[in-house]
Amino acid sequence: MTDHRPSTEATLTVERRTIDVIPDNERHGTARSQFTLWFGANMQITAIVDGALAVIFGADAIWAIVGLLIGNLLGGAVMALHSAQGPRLGLPQMISSRAQFGVLGASVPLILVVLLCLGFAATGTVLAGQAVNALLHIDDPTVGIILFGAFTAIVAITGYKLIHIIGKIATVVGIAGFSYLAIRLFANYDVAAFVGVKSFDVATFLLAISLSAGWQLTFGPYVADYSRYLPRTTSERTTFWSTFAGSVIGSQWSMTFGALIAAVVGPTFISNQVGFIGTLAGPATVAMLMYFVIIVGKLTVNCLNAYCGFMSIITAVTAFTGQTRISRLTRVLFITSFTATSVVIALFASADFLNNFKNFVLLLLTVFVPWSAINLIDYYLISKERVDIPALYDKAGRYGKWNMTALTCYLVGVVVQIPFLAQSLYTGPVTELLGGADISWIVSLLVTGLVYYPAARRTSNPPAHMIYPADLTMVAEKPRDQAPTPAVAATGPDFAATRGAGSPDLSQ
């Protein structure tokens, strides 16, 4: 009988699992943890800024809020489908990409994921550093940035359990803090006089949808990292809805608040986000509490970025070295190095550089839409949730080194977006005809799906059922369309026959 007892590993002990599958006897928690983590990660100041941008770029607050909601719903659904993979696979998100791109081929999107996480971590550290300085009454911006970077490294190194605890704290303080700020906004300003004053505009409405959809899609490459410890018996539907609700409600709440702030004060907020929040809070004591709310919210999402960056780096590196596990010391060194790099960028970057770097990071979002389409289509429609996990670690196994079908479709999904882009670094010709509306992500999802699905049906070779490593406390599964049969041990004959040529045990 499979053991689903909670792990006895202490919360403040450095997590020992990384890219290896989580055995059943270390699974714990419920899908509710996904709600609090993603709600807390979205109740933060950068999400407020994202919502404010929709109004700054010309949309009326009401239409901006509606557009942001549509984008959050669409992007949140895609993101939550990735999260639902976690309990069944027991793997971090990007390691499963080897099933689509090949063991070495998955390194292509992985490199871009690392850059994305590093960019968001660096720019987030600058913003959170300002809040730390304001809270501690320190003028030197260096202090706040370094302190926040240290907090991020400690939590990310400790890992999964502590990150979830920080998410719960962020949920509680976020609800209290943002509710108070909303009351202050309506008390100090005639908000109703600033909304509903502009007519509907298609371009700015689509921009609002893209802002929030893009926000949700950036979580795709690492959302399953935080659901992989849930028991395998956890319902995929429950995992989906818990993640979806937490992320969509949290982000929509923050973005709506941002849209209203932008409607009332305009660019004043964009130029000094932390300062405006402190002023809006009122008395100095309350302002200090609001700075704490900002710090906790940014800490949650910054830890997600650091953890994701670390996972992505070791996933790429181990594809070439053949390792299946890494030591805790290696974990500490990788996360410390990643966080230190983000802190150095934050410390030495000029305001112009950060602006340009942010634009570069936003441009990188174009590479995650086709990745998401390929991963979800393969997992749910082609492989039908059947993965040969040992083969994910074996270049000579079922998935091979490079899957040219997936890589080609991925390239098509990136290139097809170019005429439709509406970024600061580049605006496509079709976008100009549409009045500035960015629909590149929609085009990429559709085209990538239409190209990849028929190609993958001809070339993919999924296992008959889910295959887990033989040396872990797991059980093999029969095909999902067959009648239930007694569980077969993962080391039994059926397991050995379907592992795929050359697939090694993870104990090697």
The residue among 418, 416, 415 whose CA lies nearest residue 429 is: 418
Give residue-wise pLDDT tens across range 198-257.
Answer: 889 888 898 899 889 989 998 988 899 999 999 999 999 999 999 999 999 999 999 999
Predicted local distance difference test score (pLDDT) of residue 34:
95
Q: What is the pLDDT of residue 190?
A: 92
What single letter denotes the amino acid at residue 211? L
Residue 353's pLDDT is what? 52
Chain-centre distance for alpha carbon 469:
27
The pTM is what? Answer: 0.86
pLDDT at 65: 96
Nearest CA to 21 out of 224, 163, 319 is that of: 224
DSSP for 382-412, please give it. Answer: ISTT--BTGGGG-TTSTT-S--HHHHHHHHH
CA distance to 96, 105, 130, 508, per residue, from 102 (Å)? 10, 5, 43, 20
Q: What is the pLDDT of residue 368?
A: 86
Which residues in the chain come in under a pLDDT of 50?
A: 1-8, 354, 475-508
The span from the CA of 66 to the CA of 68, in Å, is 5
- Per the CB < 8 A criterion, the answer to whether 123 and 354 are in contact is yes
pLDDT digits (tens, 9 = 90+) for 399-445: 999 999 999 999 999 999 989 887 776 778 887 777 777 788 889 99
Q: Say what the pLDDT of residue 339 is.
A: 95
Radius of gyration of the chain (CA): 23
Domain boundaries of the chain, sorted by first residue = 362-508
| Per-residue confidence (pLDDT) for residue 145, from 0 to 100 | 93
Measure the CA–CA gap between 422 and 274, rounded to whole angstroms: 27
